[in-house]
């Protein structure tokens, strides 16, 4: 099996940098759709909560969604360490100013020969994780009965992301020795 630390300790190992990009508008589109469905299946008893759930991306509410997207992105980057490791600059300053990026990116440094199919799977898992993270938070506020479903999805996606990337094997070549 491929050992992540051996990869980083081996300076001769060829590496490639890949960027996974997640457009905010695409994430919001999926979040709105899932919130709409959640609201529709709530039933008539929860009519007031239904509006709160479905208004997830409306003015004012979208700020909370954006903060949770920012958090979900940061969680994904941290989860994929050491493939996403970035050096900090001396004297670097990081603040909490509200930012609504058009795109969330995950830069990965991978060994040469890493499978493109794994990157596509990882892209989908990160996208779904970010959506689940937002919905879990929003529903914990507006309709707590549904929040555990999204929490479970989050946890499962986190495990899948780790497995997809951190347990991949690198192609190994062995010389044939007849004796």
Token duo for residue 5: 């630390």
* pTM across the whole model: 0.85
Mean pLDDT of 83-106: 94
Contact, 4 vs 82, CB < 8 A? yes
Percent of the residues in the chain that have a pLDDT greater than 90, as a whole number: 68
How high does pLDDT run on average in the chain?
Answer: 87
**For 9-13, 20-24, 144-148, which range has the lowest pLDDT when averaged over its residues?**
9-13
- Residue corresponding to tokens 């990157």: 119
Contact, 65 vs 56, CB < 8 A? yes
- Kindly indicate the confidence band of residue 2, based on its pLDDT and cuts at 50, 70 and 90: very low
Quick: pLDDT tens for 33-81: 999 999 988 876 677 788 889 899 999 899 999 999 999 999 999 999 9
**What's the farthest any 2 CA atoms get from each other in the chain?**
77
More confident residue, 43 or 107: 107
Cα distances from 109 to residues 14, 20, 42, 76, in angstroms, run 10, 11, 44, 15
Give the pLDDT of residue 42: 83
What does residue 177 show for φ and ψ, rounded to 5 degrees?
Answer: -125, 105
Quick: pLDDT tens for 23-37: 999 999 999 999 999
Residue 170 has pLDDT above 50, yes or no: no
Give the pLDDT of residue 77: 96
**Rounded to 10 degrees, what is the CA torsion of 1, 115, 130, 79?**
30
Beta bridge mates, 16: 110
Give the pLDDT of residue 62: 96
């Amino acid at each position: 099996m491929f050992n992540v630390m051996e990869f980083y300790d081996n300076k001769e190992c060829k590496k490639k940098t890949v960027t996974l990009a997640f457009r905010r508008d695409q994430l919001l589109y999926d979040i709105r759709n899932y919130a709409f469905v959640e609201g529709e299946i709530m039933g008539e008893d929860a009519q007031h909560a239904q509006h709160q759930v479905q208004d997830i991306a409306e003015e004012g509410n979208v700020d909370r969604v954006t903060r949770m997207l920012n958090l979900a992105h940061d969680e994904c980057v941290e989860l994929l360490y050491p493939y996403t490791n970035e050096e900090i600059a001396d004297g670097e300053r990081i603040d909490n100013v509200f930012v609504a990026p058009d795109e969330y990116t995950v830069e990965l440094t991978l060994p040469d020969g890493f499978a493109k199919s794994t990157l596509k799977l990882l892209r989908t898992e990160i996208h779904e994780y970010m959506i689940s993270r937002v919905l879990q938070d929003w529903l914990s506020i507006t309709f707590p009965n549904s929040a555990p479903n999204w929490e479970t999805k989050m946890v499962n996606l986190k495990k899948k992301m780790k497995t997809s990337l951190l347990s991949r094997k690198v192609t190994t070549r062995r010389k044939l020795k007849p004796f």
